[in-house]
Structure 1
Amino acid sequence: MKIYDYNYGIIYINSTFNNTVSTLTDLKGNTIGWFSSGVLGFKGPKKSTSLASQSISEKISILAYKKNIKIVDIYIKGISIGKETILRIINNCGIYIRSITDITPLPYNGCRKKKKRRV
């Protein structure tokens, strides 16, 4: 198991209506480890609950602690209940959150409008 000399890392959280995926990387973007609610044993509609997000954040915090990562930047993508829960638990596990960035894509033009009705 590789233990990192520096204390910095990045946590990417992808939170959708169906699943939550959390990835821990180093500052260059190389993946150290990842967890999703499916990997932790949640199936079906339970994958999108806040309990699943809670379990993911505990596991990713333990992984960061084992790899000697104490300071993280967090990038959040998506819309779901579990985003705030993950942040709260990571902070409570003794990991210092340096920055939180929301990278959710926003539509700049929206969907295509309907054709005008011809009578």
Structure 2
Amino acid sequence: MLSYKNNVFILILFTPNNIFTTIINYNKNILYKKSLGVNKIKGLKKLTQSSIKNISNEISNFLKDFNFKFHLKLKGLNKFKKIVLKTIFLNFKRTDFVLSISDETIIPYNGCKRKKKRRL
């Protein structure tokens, strides 16, 4: 019989200016919540490799402390998605902590909406 006590979901939302991470359990109780803005870094300095590695290291340390196995759900488009995945998986020596990975990014079939031209 499977034990769901130590299984959690990691939800990572990528926006153009920020990355939000939430860890919830099967009862949908929030166990951990963090974003890049928590580190008091504002603007473009927020999306640097060092700050992203720091927050993903904090996530993996939280998971290691409580010996959680996790389902990873990603949503949104960002160029740092690979770096976040890489740093989370480098902190785990074995892959049996990862139960599933899903990307729930919504991409329209008819393309992106063009930005309005600026009138001067």
TM range (shorter): 0.7 to 0.9
Runs of 5+ consecutive residues of structure 2 not aligned to the other structure: 115-120
Contact persistence 1:24–1:64 (CA under 8 A): no
1:111–1:88 Cα change, 3 Å: closer
What percent of counterpart residues are identical? 32
Greater helix content: 2
Deviation track 1:5-44 (CA, whole Å, cap 9, x = no partner) reads 8321110111122001111111232210111111023221
Tell me, in whole angstroms, the C-alpha distance in 2 between the residues paired with 1:28 and 1:82.
30
TM-score w.r.t. length of structure 2: 0.76
Matches within 5 A, 1:1-119: 6-69=5-68, 71-94=69-92, 96-109=97-110
Q: Which runs of 4+ in 1 moved over 4 A?
A: 108-113
Aligned to 1:116: none
Structure with bigger gyration radius? 1
Runs of 5+ consecutive residues of structure 1 not aligned to the other structure: 114-119
Residues paired across the two proteins, number: 108
Aligned residue identity for 2:107: L
Tell me, in whole angstroms, the C-alpha distance in 1 between the residues paired with 2:79 and 2:113.
29
